A and B are shown apart, each in its own frame.
Chain A
Amino acid sequence: MEYRWRLTNKMKRLFGISGFLWMLAVSLSGLSGCSGRADMGPVADAANVKAIRDVLATSKGAGSEQAAAATGTGWATIKGQFVFDGDPPTMPPYNVTKEAEICTINGQAPPQEMLVVTPGSKAIKNVVVFLRDASRVNDSAKPKTDRVEFDQKHCLFLTHVVGLTVGQALDIKNSDNTGHNTNILGSGFNQLIPAGGAIPYKVQKDAQVPNKVTCSIHPWMTAYMLPRKDGYFAVSDADGKFEIANVPAGEPLEFQVWHESGAAPGNGLVGTTPDAPDVKWSNRGRVAVTLKPDDVKELKVVVPAKAFRL
């Protein structure tokens, strides 16, 4: 009797709930679990558990890579080229619905830029590559202070994808003979840029993926802007080429590869690097690689058609 009382009191303290609830709990658990009618299934077998755990601990899984979280020394460079595998789709023209005299070139609406592939070389333009988290930043990649011009003409953003560092100033120009309003989604900036005028904008906060830039007056106009804390980013040019210099060497790096039409989550772009087996691609378009000091890693990235959501 006394034993039972002590037990109950103990349990009350254990659960920190009222005696009434406790009684209820006991009676319910008594109903549900004790009669042994239901098969509750097996529990882990200690010997096998240990054997599996030993294997997992020594396996070359993600763990061993993550374990090397210690920072390395020295700097390296990563560069390369994006090439489309197969026949790229032709881009339809922009749906110019107003002010055709300004927004077309020789009476033709310009082609959309959802995927820009150079004929012949099949080089992919406007692919964004950036280092996700830099453990240290080389002086050459510190935030920049030079001003960047961001112009629009023929109702097109002349720079379709622009990368910047926080603190950099953007001169948003309008070379058209009509008003534009430039809306940088996610930044809170949405202003009218008068015909022939310019408005400065200073990048305040960084982003994990490029922000879309639109014009509410000409809704077909689209560009992308990537503000980053450091200079470890690049946008591929008309030759599909990119280069990010002086990234930390001797430690695991993770780059995000992004394209506005990328099919992976968050518009990640999943390519392949058949010539570089040490470069690991995730299905989000993230690339894991460790570079040696003073290494210049050159990658040929082959991107299959299905990596794009077109």
Chain B
Amino acid sequence: MRALALVTATAALVGCGKSDPPPFRLNMTNVVAKQIAPEHQQAIANILGAMFGTPDEPIALKETGLDQKKLDMAAGPVWSDKVGAKHGLYRRHCVHCHGISGDGRGPTAAVLNPYPRDYRMGVFKFKSTYTAAEPTNLDLTKTLHEGIPGTAMPSFALLPPDEVAALVEYVKYLSIRGQMERLLEDHASVELNAGDKFDPANDPAVQKLVMQDMLGPIMESWNGAKEQVINPEDASIPPDNRPAKELEASVKAGRELFYGTRANCVKCHGPTALGDGQQDDYDVWNKAINDFFKATDDKIGQIASLKTDLAKAQGDDATQIRQQIVDAQKEFNERHALLSSLLLPRNAIPRNLREGVFRGGRRPIDVFWRISSGIPGTPMPASGPAGEGAQGTLTQKEIWQIVDYVHSLPFEPASLPQKRPINASEVSTGE
């Protein structure tokens, strides 16, 4: 029974009818962009395998503090045991969008907008902590519980709490694994030359590098998250039952900040607050893909330019340029082979604030956190302090005023459906 489930799940994930359990794959966009030698790719896969196990048999390494029981519940193929406890929760609920390795490239990813989150950078948008900090368990639980309004991410509020907790643990596991992978790839790209050995099993220095210099700071950041929560001063928090006059004054002050040059919200969210300001930028996930496309394009120009040089060069110079052309062509081919598997990058579009749909939650404190620490990974900057004791651009009181204004926007007359003549060219005919 379980074996059959495994086979079918594998077929579903690989899509090619193979019967091996699904493996973790490396982030090939990063591997190719950083030109990591094949033997170092293998070494990285091995180190990650040793530290984190496989999608069917994850390992809660002691140093990560992850909970093995929770990981076991979330990982592996989907099945239920005799007493009805569910296993394989990640593959039951998440994998079709977020992918086996948490790369946000499950089979449905291409038809979703926004694309599902790629956990591997360890960057999460909706959280209660300072910009540079990781989210708390509570933040991730809230996202699972409430879903992300306005996106394909549904609410999992109907799952029992222990299943939600198992999924939160597994998301952290995939993030930590992804962050480790990135550090290993950065290291291989910058520090290693082709042929260099990179094996912790035989080299204590590599072992120290991996466990202390790489995993250490990642875990410090995750474990320290709960101490990085932004708790607004009680005195700054507007009381629940404010007289209308007071609220009105706060909305007005918030509006002035919104359009003013200090908070500068208008620059991106637009003078209409429809999100029609700055629309040309990317978030970090799409930027990585965009840069990959751009650099692949640049290679063509570079090869052409090298060929011009070659025509003029002689002797050793010519030999060297010829080698550079071969290298550039090889990199271009590797890049080109990946292009078809990538999702086309999309711009980060500032939120339309007139719809009353707030992805990170609509409670005043949610909107406060968005403004105070910005939205990590996206162009949205922080207006509050960058960390405990740092100087923020706006005071907490001012941030609450913007919260009030943002909450008032969906109810302004301009936000209601407008009567206007329909321009034929704006209407899709479905052709």
Which A residues are closer than 8 A to B by beta carbons? Answer: 7, 10-11, 13-17, 21, 24-26, 28-30, 32-34, 37-46, 48-56, 59, 61-63, 66-67, 183, 185-186, 188, 190, 208-209, 260, 265-267, 282-284
Contact = CB atoms under 8 A, between A and B. Distances in A.
Contacts of A41: 25-26, 28, 31, 41, 45
A56 B199 CA distance: 12
Nearest to B130: A265
Contact of A44 (B15, B54, B107, B235): B54
A67 to B, nearest CB: 7
A34 B207 contact: no
Contacts of B246: none
B45 A14 contact: no
Contacts of B217: 283
5 contacts: A17-B96, A34-B16, A37-B340, A62-B211, A260-B389
B305 interface: no
A293 B16 CA distance: 63
A21 B12 CA distance: 13
Given A33-B341, A56-B51, A282-B220, A267 B12 contact: no
- Candidate in B62, B106, B338 with the most chain A CB atoms within 10 angstroms: B62
Interface stretch (B1-9, B161-169, B362-370): B1-9
Contact of B15 (A29, A183, A209, A282): A29
A41 B185 CA distance: 13
Contacts of B65: 66
A61 B340 contact: no
B323 interface: no
Contact of B388 (A13, A29, A267): A267
Interface string B219-246: 0100010011001011100000000000
A10 B3 CA distance: 12
A26 B388 contact: no
Given A39-B337, A44-B45, A45-B46, A29 B201 contact: no
A59 B15 contact: no
A24 B45 CA distance: 31
Contacts of B385: none
Nearest to A50: B50
Nearest to B334: A39
B388 to A, nearest CB: 5
A92 B91 CA distance: 61
Contacts of A260: 389
A29 B97 CA distance: 11
Interface in B108-140: 108, 110-111
B216 interface: yes
B319 interface: no
Nearest to B9: A14
Given A17-B96, A266-B227, A29 B107 contact: yes
Interface residues of B, number: 69
B42 interface: yes
Given A25-B108, A49-B50, A186-B233, A63 B62 contact: yes
B211 A42 contact: no
Given A26-B12, A33-B15, A52-B50, A265 B201 contact: no
B358 interface: no
B387 interface: yes
Most chain B beta carbons < 10 A, residue from A62, A267, A283? A62
A62 B337 contact: no
B61 interface: yes
A67 B111 CA distance: 46
Given A33-B16, A62-B62, 19 more contacts: A10-B8, A14-B8, A14-B9, A15-B12, A15-B78, A15-B92, A21-B96, A25-B96, A41-B31, A41-B45, A45-B45, A45-B49, A46-B49, A51-B202, A52-B47, A59-B211, A62-B211, A66-B65, A265-B387
A56 B233 contact: no
B206 to A, nearest CB: 9
Contacts of B108: 21, 24-25, 28
Contact of B227 (A51, A62, A208): A208
Contact of A26 (B5, B23, B105, B107): B107
Nearest to B211: A61
Interface string B40-58: 0110011111110010000
A42 B48 CA distance: 12
B43 to A, nearest CB: 8
Contacts of A67: 62
B23 A185 contact: no
Contacts of B5: 10, 14
Contacts of A282: 220
B200 A52 contact: yes
Which of B25, B26, B389 neighbours the largest number of chain A CB atoms within 10 Å of its CB?
A: B389
A49 B92 contact: no
Contacts of A46: 49
B13 interface: yes
Given A14-B8, A43-B24, A284 B61 contact: no
A132 to B, nearest CB: 10
B11 to A, nearest CB: 8
A28 B111 contact: yes
Contact of B199 (A14, A40, A52, A284): A52
Contacts of B51: 52-53, 56
B212 interface: yes
A44 B28 CA distance: 15
